Structures are given as structure tokens and as C-alpha cells.
Amino acid sequence: MRFLLTDSCFYICSLMIMLSCSIYYYSHKTPQKDRSKVFELIMFNILFTSIASLIATSMEPLVTTDMNFYNYVQQFAETIYFALHVLLAPLFALYVVFVNNWGDNHSTKSIFLFLSPALLLELFVLTNPLTGLIFYYQDNVLFTRGPMELLIYAESAGYLLFMIQQLWLYRSILLKTAAVVLWIFIGCGLFGMVVQLLFPWLKLELFCEAISLMGVMLLIEMDDFHTDSMTGVYNRHMFIADNDRYIRSNRKYMVMVITLLNYNSFLRMLKNEDLEEMVRNIIHWVIKNSRGTVYRIARNKIGIITNQGRMECNQFAMFFKECTHSSDVHLNMLNNVSLSLSASIDIVCVPDEISKPELLIELSEELHDAIKPGLIVHCEEDVEKVKRRVELEQILKKAIQEKSFEVNYQPIWNVETSSFDCAEALVRLHDPVFGSIPPMEFIPIAEQNGMINDIGRIVFEKVCLFLHDNEPNRYGLKEIEVNLSIFQLYVENTDVMFRNIMEKYGVTSKQINLEITESSALNENGIVKEHYEKLRRLGFTFSLDDFGTGYSNLIQVISNDFKNIKQDKGLLWDTKNPNSHKFLVESINMIRKFRLDVIQEGVETKEQLELVLNAGANKIQGYYFSKPLDAPSFLDFIRSRNASTNPVHA
């Protein structure tokens, strides 16, 4: 009974906690960071320290003043306890510096130097059976502290102070959860150490360390929020967080992002469980063959943070290519999947080439025109495209918040009325740092990330405000062409938003004609067609923009009852192909036979004007008449030019 009522209670509790942690940890464990290896060392240290302490304590009723077998077992177990416990504080400290990223960036030699005080003290512990400097048994029975045992407490205190200094120094770059857990971790260890120093009979230190390590395991090592549930590796959140910490701590390193380009093809061809198994195989292969931390940052993207140089990263990329197409079952990571993998690998140096974590996520986005079999390794120029894209997204967010988009108006000359009775509203974006940003650059980005709906609302409202404040109909302007992205027709209540804005400014749908480009979606997508019809019921008419390119064709023109057909300027400007102008003329003639208005855009010279006029185009837009103008300049233009009897020669 005495065995269960004394020191053994704390040791038994410590042992049970560590056994439970070990079982849970290894049943959920996946290969992770180097800090996980340190965590495992700490866990096994406390586990075996608890066993050694329990053995030494259980021998107390059996030892005698005459050295017997139990005396030797007790002394051996006590020596093992001290030998392991001397390493506990430095391992704790090493874990802390790995968490705050110092350890990942240092060599084995520097880590060895970091542990050297503990290793030196280890020599005194291992020679203690001969010297008795750390502990000895008085009369072979009574445990007695040796003159140098205080060195162990001094060593532990030194490493604890170092941990406190590290946590304070790197407080701004640590994850909040990790910081809180580590402070509790240090507090528990310090409490147990002080209690056991002042009250040697109360063996609380090991129990406190076991409790705190369990918290570390649950909240840092087994953090589900930062772990991909399917593969067990770190996820997008952790990738961004780690890069953010590394960059802010002025660390220089390499990032590789592997993009599985034909992932969607695999998604259609494979069963879900087969696809998941394939992704797991690829990630486990990457873990095995890359010297770094692996993350799954998107369904089809794998990120790697490594201290290796560019040459080693390029070698990894080539080996990745070899293994994805190898017939050797020991090399091929796809196992039984017979499909060909198309992938790209972006290799960048951080922070030299990229210094923002969010830019790293965007690597491989829109950097390929088509999916081709094999491996693509993107170069520095591709990285610059990604940087530009993310910078533009930030500019667009700011412009939407501040509603700082400008709307210019380009007049359209009506041949039949000899007046500028229409204009196209064109959005413009100017940034104080990057200057003027052309729509052909920021509109595709806005369509991809969903910002186009906000931009469309801002432009529509500014056009309505212009119509309300200036009443341009007084100068002969009948309507304004406003571009409508097909993506706006995927959004519910676009018609309600337009109606509310028009009611606010007293504008009618007859004053606005909506331009769309990708007319194929009107026939192929039920939601788009439904929202299109809602706008028509509000009284809106539509123009088909860029006819002759993309998805625009005659069947769609007829079936969707467009008011105007805008001929793309590409055919007009193509002087190298003699058939381009012939095709343009025939196209205009054909459309006019259906009694539809043809707006020819991009007219810049008198020769171009005469060509499209002879072909039958009845509305002309281009720099021959005017460039896009700001609102005051546009009003002056239509006021003066519509007063002229012949705008073409005015």
C-alpha cells in the first residue's frame, strides 16, 4: 500500500499520460516538420523517465544496508532517471526554437553546440556510480543529493530562461495558439521544478511536464485546423502562416509549388477513393524525396518549404518528372493509375523573388495556355506574372471599397441620323503607384475572383448618375452602351440591383443598352438565360460585342434577338491577311440583311471608315471620331459635334 501512496502515484500518472499520448500520436501521426522529431524525443524521454522513477521507487521496500540485487536495480534506475532528465530541459528548449523557426534554419553543428551544456552534464551523471557527485544512497538505503545535483537545476533554469527569451523575442511571428500553449508548457515545467527543489519528497516535476506535453501534442502537433484531413499533411492555412513567420524573421529559403494540371480530368475519370489514394501517394512520395515541410495548399496543389538551394530544387523537379512517367513500379508514384500526369513546378527564392505569403498560393495560376502531358518548370518571368496578378487584386479591392473607378465615354456615330446618338461607357482604373491599368488586364482577373459583380454595380451606378446629373439627351444622346460581364448573369438579383439603381436616379432602361460578349452561355446555361430574360423584362436591350471572335456566331445572334452587333476590330486591323477585309465585308452585309444594326469598333483611319461604310455598317466607333472621354469632355463633344451638319468631315 505504501508503494501506491507515495511518490509512485505521480510517476504512475506520468507513465499513463505518456502511454496514452504515444498511442494517440502514432495512430494519427503523418510525417511532418523536424520539430515533430524533437517532440517524439521529449515524449519518449518522459515515458522512460517515468518508468525508471517507478522502478527506483518500487525498490525502496526491498533494499537493505547490505548491497543486494535490489540495491543495484534501484541505483541503476535512478541513474537512468537523471541521465534522461538532464536532457529534458534542452529538448524542451530545442522544441521551442523549432516552433519559432530558428531550429529549421541551423545546421546540425549549431544544434550540437546548443545542446553541449547538457551533454557535458551528462558525463557527470553517467560517472555518478563512481563519484556520487549527483546523488548517492546513505547507508545504501537513504537517497541523498550530491554536491553537483544543483547543477541539473541550474541547467534546467538556464534553458527555461532561454525559452522565455525566445518566446518573447519571436512573439510577433508565432501562431497565437502555439504561443499560449508554450507559455503554459514553460509555466508547468517551472512550477514542478521549483516545487521539487523546495520539497524533495513531493515528486511533482515529471507529472507537470507530462501534463504540459499532452497539451503541446493536442494543440500544436495534432492541430486539425492546420492539417489536411485527407492526407494528414499541413494545409493552406499553415502554409501561409509558416511563410509569414519565415519572411518576418528575415529567413531566406526556397518554396516549391507542385500543381497537378489535369486534376479535374482525374476527378471525372476516377472513383473518389481512387483519386484520394493517388493524391496521398503523390504527397507521401514528395515527403519521402524532398528535404522540407510539405503542405497541401489546394485540391491540386502541393507546397514545399525547404532550405535547399535552387540546384537541389531543380534536381527534385527532374526526379519528380522521371517518377511520374516511369514504368518502374518502385519509382512510379501513381501506382496502378494508368493515366498520364500533367504537372507544373514553380521554384522561387523567398524573399528575394517573392516576399508576400499570399503570392505563393497563386503560383501556377493562369500560367499555362493548355494542359500538356509532362512537367512544366516555371521560370522567373512566370513568377512576375503572379506577383502582378496579386498586386492587381489588392488594387481592385481598394478601388471597390473607395469606388474609385472612373467611367469614360466613347461616342458612336450613327450613319443614318448623322449624329452621335450613342456612346459606350468604358471603365478606367488609375492607381497612385502603378498608374493607369488597362481594362484588358484587370477585367479578366476581376471575372476570375468574383470582383466583377462589384465593379459592374459601380460602373452602372456611375452611368445612371451621369444621365441624371447631365441629361445628355438634350444634346441628342439616346442611349449609353454598358458592358455586362456574363459572370454578372450568374448572380441572383442582378435585375433587382439594376432596377433599384435606376429608380434612385430616375433613369429608364431605354437609356441604357447592355453589351455582352460570351453569348454562348445564354443558350447553354439555364441560370444565365433566366437572369438574361429578367433583364429583358425590365426593358433592357442588348448588344453582342466582339462578333466574329470567341463564341459569337450567327445562330446565337438570331436566337437571342440582339439590338446591335458589334464587329470586332481584329478583322479591320488585319492588313496581312487579304481575306480578312473580304470576310469583314461579307459579315456586315449578312448581318444587315437581318435588319440588325452593326457597330464597327476600332475605326481609326479614313480608309477604314470608307471600307465599313461601303460594307453597310450603320454605326461607327473608334479613334477616327474620338478617343474615350471623361464626362465633361464627352458632353462638350456631343454638344458641339451633334450641332454640326456632317460629323464625318467636321
Residue 378 pLDDT: 59
Q: Does some domain include residue 306? A: yes
Distance CA 552, CA 486 (A): 13
372 vs 273, which has greater pLDDT?
A: 273
DSSP 396-452: HHHHHHHT--EEEEEEEEETTTTEEEEEEEEEEEEETTTEEE-HHHHHHHHHHHTTH
- Cα separation values, 452 from 442, 443, 445, 493, Å: 10, 7, 8, 15
**Neighbour-count burial of 530, counting CB atoms closer than 10 A to its CB (0-12 exposed, 13-18 middle, 19+ buried):** exposed
Is 428 found in the same domain as 357? no
As given in the structure block, the three cell numbers for residue 289 are: 524525396
Question: What is the band of 567 on the pLDDT scale with cuts at 50, 70, 90?
Answer: confident
Q: Does some domain include residue 430? A: yes
pLDDT (tens digit per residue) in 189-206? 788 878 877 877 777 888
pLDDT (tens digit per residue) in 112-167? 888 899 999 999 999 998 888 888 888 877 888 888 888 888 888 899 899 888 88
pLDDT (tens digit per residue) in 364-399? 554 444 444 455 665 566 667 777 887 888 899 999
Is 266 found in the same domain as 242? yes
Is 152 found in the same domain as 17? yes
If one counts every other C-beta atom within 10 angstroms of the C-beta of residue 127, the result is: 13
Cβ(571)–Cβ(600) below 8 Å: no
CATH number at residue 242: 3.30.70.270
For the chain, percent of residues with pLDDT exceeding 90: 30
Answer whether residue 525 shows pLDDT above 70: no
The two beta strands, 253-260 and 234-235, are unpaired
Q: Does some domain include residue 609? A: yes
Question: What is the band of 30 on the pLDDT scale with cuts at 50, 70, 90?
Answer: low
Give pairs for 176-185: CB < 8 Å, separation 24+: 177/219, 177/220, 177/223, 178/99, 178/219, 178/220, 181/215, 181/216, 181/219, 181/220, 182/96, 182/99, 182/216, 182/220, 184/212, 184/215, 185/92, 185/212, 185/213, 185/215, 185/216
Is 624 found in the same domain as 530? yes
The parent domain of residue 459 ranges over 396-641
pLDDT, mean of residues 351-355: 80
Residue 4 pLDDT: 46
Is 345 found in the same domain as 417? no
Is 588 found in the same domain as 617? yes
pTM (two decimals): 0.58
Cβ(599)–Cβ(567) below 8 Å: yes
The two beta strands, 253-260 and 342-350, are antiparallel
Residue 188 pLDDT: 84
As given in the structure block, the three cell numbers for residue 226 are: 492546420
Answer whether residue 255 shows pLDDT above 80: yes
Residue 476 pLDDT: 92
Q: Does some domain include residue 408? A: yes
pLDDT (tens digit per residue) in 600-623? 999 999 999 999 999 899 999 999
Q: Does some domain include residue 36? A: yes
pLDDT (tens digit per residue) in 71-126? 899 899 999 989 998 999 899 888 888 887 655 556 678 888 888 999 999 999 99
**Neighbour-count burial of 41, counting CB atoms closer than 10 A to its CB (0-12 exposed, 13-18 middle, 19+ buried):** middle
For the chain, percent of residues with pLDDT exceeding 70: 86
Distance CA 262, CA 371 (A): 7
Is 211 found in the same domain as 231? no
Grid cell 498560393 is found at 361
Q: Provide the number of structural domains found in the chain.
A: 3
Q: Does some domain include residue 452? A: yes
Answer whether residue 549 shows pLDDT above 60: no
- Stated length of the chain: 650
Is 243 found in the same domain as 157? no
Mean confidence (pLDDT) of the chain: 83
Cβ(512)–Cβ(468) below 8 Å: no
Question: 321: closest CA among 346, 338, 345?
Answer: 345
Whether cis (ω within 30° of 0) applies to the bond prior to 351 is yes
Distance CA 309, CA 319 (A): 16
As given in the structure block, the three cell numbers for residue 550 are: 470567341
Is 547 found in the same domain as 433? yes
Distance CA 303, CA 480 (A): 48
Find the distance separating the first CA and the last CA of the chain, reported in whole Å. Answer: 114
Q: Which of 175-189, 402-416, 600-614 is least confident?
A: 175-189
pLDDT, mean of residues 25-36: 72
CATH number at residue 121: 1.20.1070.10
- Cα separation values, 228 from 33, 333, 584, 642, Å: 15, 20, 55, 65
Reduced 3-state DSSP string for 144-187: EECCCHHHHHHHHHHHHHHHHHHHHHCCCCCCHHHHHHHHHHHH
Q: Does some domain include residue 390? A: no
If one counts every other C-beta atom within 10 angstroms of the C-beta of residue 108, the result is: 7
Q: Does some domain include residue 85? A: yes
**Neighbour-count burial of 450, counting CB atoms closer than 10 A to its CB (0-12 exposed, 13-18 middle, 19+ buried):** exposed
Is 85 found in the same domain as 13? yes
